[in-house]
Amino acid sequence: MKVAIAQITPETANKGANLEKMRRFVIDSAQQGAELVVFPELALTGYHCGDRFFAMAEEIPGPSTDFFVQLAKANQIYIIWGMVEKTLPGMLYNAAALVGPEGYIGNWRKNTLPGHATDLSGPGAFPDRRYFKNGSGLEVYDTAIGRIGVLICYDIFFPELARLLTLKGADMIVGISGSPDFEKDIFEPIVKVRAMENTVDFIYTNLVGLEGETHYWGGGCIIAAGDRDSKIPGSPLICKAPYTGEGITLGILDNRNKSIRASFPVLRDITTSMYDNLKSAHEKLV
């Protein structure tokens, strides 16, 4: 299966311009044979909308979902993108949605919201806790190209969440982020570890370029569940997007996890008692 990593520099609070850019990337991806294209966190609106998030937010499914459904049907491709979801008035989620040739499939909400520097301005000011509600639960959706789960940015830091998606049967985990330059050396090893510890294909995409005072480092990648010949999990690196510039990067997945798990049976060796002990230890902290 050919996958397109699409990294963009969003125009803050300009959904029309971002939709048009994403439309072109979807068509380009499909013309190059991709069956799945993934866009970064909050690609639809940008990360620095401030109070404009309330005006930018939509229900899922809603107008932008309908736009991508028509695009997916016309180009016979699956699309994942980040956006702001609203439910009740004033209740917003940092979310991602999935559509395909069959229509709307499902969505995810960011479970863990960063609190670093939320009261400051500048490139490290993450607005999540000010505007968004924590999501709960993570679904894995069946599609014609496999079972897909998504983690949004800070969610990737938590091994428990990637493990949950894997144990729910995900064939691939898609990580989308809006990560600034100073986090590059954090995210790159974590993404590889998530693929390694779960023997699962991991697709990662990030915003790129300058939005306001924040410079995003791009650098998306696809890491296979494991190499069949060397029997090393979390390898090889199938493709790597550049650290600068908008565009798509293509990679091919071939369900390597079905063979690597026989050689590196980490999922077999998990015991329920591990999670019981983790739960017990955590309860003593809170």
The per-residue pLDDT for 119 is 45
Backbone angles phi, psi at 230, to 5 degrees: -80, -15
Tokens 């294909």 belong to which residue? 201
**What stretch of H or E contains 11?**
none
pLDDT at 7 over 90: yes
Q: What is the pLDDT of residue 116?
A: 63
Per-residue model confidence as pLDDT tens digits over 169-227: 999 999 999 999 999 999 999 999 999 999 999 999 999 999 998 999 999 999 999 98
Number of H helices, E strands in the chain: 8, 16
Q: Compute φ and ψ for 150, nearest 5 degrees.
A: -130, 140
Of the candidates 102, 50, 109, the residue with the CA atom closest to the CA atom of residue 76: 102
Position 254 pLDDT exceeds 90: no
Instruction: With cut-offs at 50, 70 and 90, classify the pLDDT of residue 70.
Output: very high
Model confidence over 107-148: pLDDT tens digits? 999 999 997 654 445 555 678 999 999 999 899 999 999 999
Per the CB < 8 A criterion, the answer to whether 177 and 204 are in contact is yes
Distance of alpha carbon 103 from alpha carbon 71, whole angstroms = 10
| Burial class of residue 90, CB neighbours in 10 A (0-12, 13-18, 19+) | exposed
Domains and CATH numbers, the chain: 2-283 (3.60.110.10)
pLDDT more than 90, % of the chain: 86
Angle (nearest 5°) at CA 61 between 43 and 16: 40
Instruction: Pinpoint the alpha helices (H) of 34-94.
Output: 53-56, 63-75
Closest CA to 122 of 40, 176, 182, 82: 182
| pLDDT given at position 286 | 76
Out of 16-20, 145-149, 256-260, 268-272, which region has the weakest mean confidence (pLDDT)?
Answer: 256-260
Exposure of 125 in the CB half-sphere (CA atoms within 13 A): 14
What's phi and psi for 133, nearest 5 deg?
-95, 145
| pTM of the predicted model as reported, rounded to 2 decimal places | 0.95
One-letter amino acid of 249: T
Tokens in use for 230?
A: 């060397």
pLDDT surpassing 80 at residue 258:
no
Give pLDDT tens digits for 236-246: 999 999 999 99
